[in-house]
């Protein structure tokens, strides 16, 4: 049973370690402490993930409003990702395969479409509120 939950423990440990590094290492709002976004460096445009490191920093310091402003899509997806992780863990603990409507091809393609549209819209002049 414990061996079956090793992947979940690894994911949880990795996420916790990453959050702790961002929370306590250095402020990502100051340049030079973390690598920048390679997509932004190459193209000059924000990717759908831009602002994610600063979002984690803001959340770990209790600044929810700033976190939302840095990447609204990621902020909204965090509870979904948390739900999926808990469900994955519970299903594995019960010895059941992970099944969810969120893993259907139509949902996956729709999610990729949302990421693409979000990545485009957050770079348009009228949508400056979506920029990090």
Q: In 3-state terms, what secondary structure has residue 113?
A: helix
- Angstrom distance (rounded) from CA 125 to CA 132: 13
Share of the chain above pLDDT 90, in %: 69
Mean pLDDT of 19-40: 88
Mean pLDDT of 35-60: 92
- Environment class of 22 (CB within 10 Å of its CB; exposed 0-12, middle 13-18, buried 19+): buried
Domain boundaries, the chain: 3-130
Q: For residues 131 and 70, is the Cβ–Cβ distance under 8 A? A: no
State both tokens at 81.
Answer: 């990702």
**The pLDDT of residue 87 is above 70:** yes
Mean pLDDT of 39-48: 93
Give, in degrees to the nearest 5, the angle at Cα 40 between 117 and 115. Answer: 20
Q: Is residue 26 very low, low, confident or very high in pLDDT (cuts 50, 70, 90)? A: confident
Q: Please report the pLDDT score of residue 121 as a whole number.
A: 95
State both tokens at 76.
Answer: 């909204």
- Angstrom distance (rounded) from CA 64 to CA 43: 29
**The pLDDT of residue 132 is above 90:** no
**The pLDDT of residue 12 is above 70:** yes
Q: Please report the pLDDT score of residue 64 as a whole number.
A: 96
Q: For residues 19 and 60, is the Cβ–Cβ distance under 8 A? A: yes
């Amino acid at each position: 049973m414990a061996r079956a939950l090793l992947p979940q423990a690894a994911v949880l440990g990795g996420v916790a370690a990453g959050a702790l590094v961002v929370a306590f290492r250095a402020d990502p709002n100051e340049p030079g402490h973390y690598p920048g976004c390679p997509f932004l460096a190459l193209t000059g445009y924000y990717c759908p993930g831009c602002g994610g490191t600063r979002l984690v920093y803001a959340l770990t310091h209790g600044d929810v409003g700033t976190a939302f402003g840095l990447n609204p899509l990621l902020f909204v997806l965090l509870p979904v990702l948390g739900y999926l992780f808990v469900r994955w863990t519970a299903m594995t603990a019960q010895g059941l395969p992970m099944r969810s409507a969120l893993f259907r091809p139509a949902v996956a393609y729709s999610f990729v479409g949302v990421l693409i549209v979000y990545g485009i819209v957050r770079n348009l002049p009228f949508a400056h509120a979506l920029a990090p």
